[in-house]
Amino acid sequence: MKVAGTGRKIVFPEGTDDRILTAASRLAAEQVLQPIVLGDEQAVRVKAAALGLPLEGVEIVNPRRYGGFDELVSAFVERRKGKMTEEAARELLLDENYFGTMLVYTGAADGLVSGAAHSTADTVRPALQIIKTKPGVRKTSGVFIMVRGDEKYVFADCAINIAPDSQDLAEIAVESARTAKMFGLTPRVAMLSFSTKGSASSPETEKVAEAVRLAKEMAPDLILDGEFQFDAAFVPEVARKKAPDSVIQGDANVFIFPSLEAGNIGYKIAQRLGGFEAVGPILQGLNKPVNDLSRGCSAEDTYKLALITAVQSLGE
């Protein structure tokens, strides 16, 4: 899915961060999307000048001087449905993440990328309060696109849900399949465990087996099965022995891990031992895209996540 020429606007709340400015300058110069950076305009321009970065095509917005601030306050109070006074809303919208999220919610921007200098909670909390999850989705989740040469896989959830239950896993599977489609994959989803098709029995394996049943109810046309050990999902020879009747025959490309610890460990093993590039985490399940950078991110990471966010906005 091509982003250039679509006029997508992506907001970056951390407008004076070196990595954010470097990425925003590049995105504007390449004319692939319209970056909006938040912050005091003079401070942003001074920082950009010190870095030798041109800002042509980069929109700088200072929340404290934003012409539509009153309208944002009213929209925020209405969205929070009695949980926020106007006075409290005015104060909270001076926070760059809340302000940026409201730009996305009101359509002034198409997506948000933050987290270079903020925690995951600081980025995700405003999104959950304002943008909220899609109908039928209880929780957001985080995926990585794992890339090595021409190989491309989706790993989830590697970022958000510590101990997902069966319903959570089913939703993560369906949303991950949608994410896979956005990035050119025909999803073949494997629900992972330490058991393959009942080879072991425990509450942990039964949770995944129930998730498979629920996911098939939610998306009956989706190619999905489990529970699988990873080798049975990935190696055709093993699949023929362990799961000969499955629609997945060692050819899965979307892998749903049973817990956050498994997903986080799994993607880092593939990244560090397998030589895969881990692109993400990409948050899914929200009505509009908001994505969270690692505080150890590079300008290149920021650039790529902004492009991904723009792609997500086109796939809404």
The reply to whether 254 and 149 lie within a common domain is yes
pLDDT for the residue numbered 275:
96
Direct distance between the N- and C-terminal alpha carbons of the chain, in angstroms, rounded to an integer: 13
Query: Could you tell me the sign of the dihedral formed by the alpha carbons of 250, 254, 255, 256, in that order?
Result: negative
**Is there a domain that residue 4 lies in?**
no
The reply to whether 145 and 80 lie within a common domain is no
Q: Which domain holds residue 103?
A: 9-132+286-314
CA distance 86 to 135: 27
**Is there a domain that residue 30 lies in?**
yes
The reply to whether 124 and 236 lie within a common domain is no
The reply to whether 66 and 112 lie within a common domain is yes
Number of domains, the chain: 2
Question: Which CATH number belongs to the domain containing residue 55 in this structure?
Answer: 3.40.50.10950
The tens-digit pLDDT sequence of the chain (316 residues) is 577 777 899 999 998 999 999 999 999 999 999 999 999 999 999 999 999 999 999 999 999 999 999 999 999 999 988 788 889 999 999 999 999 999 999 999 999 999 888 888 888 899 999 999 988 889 999 999 999 999 999 999 998 999 999 999 999 999 999 999 988 899 999 999 999 998 999 999 999 999 999 999 999 999 999 899 999 999 999 999 999 999 999 999 999 999 999 999 999 999 999 999 988 889 999 999 999 888 888 999 899 999 999 999 987 5
The reply to whether 198 and 228 lie within a common domain is yes
The reply to whether 161 and 205 lie within a common domain is yes
The reply to whether 56 and 95 lie within a common domain is yes
What's the whole-model pTM score?
Answer: 0.86
The reply to whether 291 and 197 lie within a common domain is no
The reply to whether 122 and 232 lie within a common domain is no
**Is there a domain that residue 74 lies in?**
yes
170 to each of 3, 43, 289, 295, how far by Cα in Å? 30, 46, 21, 30
Nearest by Cα to 159 from 77, 265, 4? 265
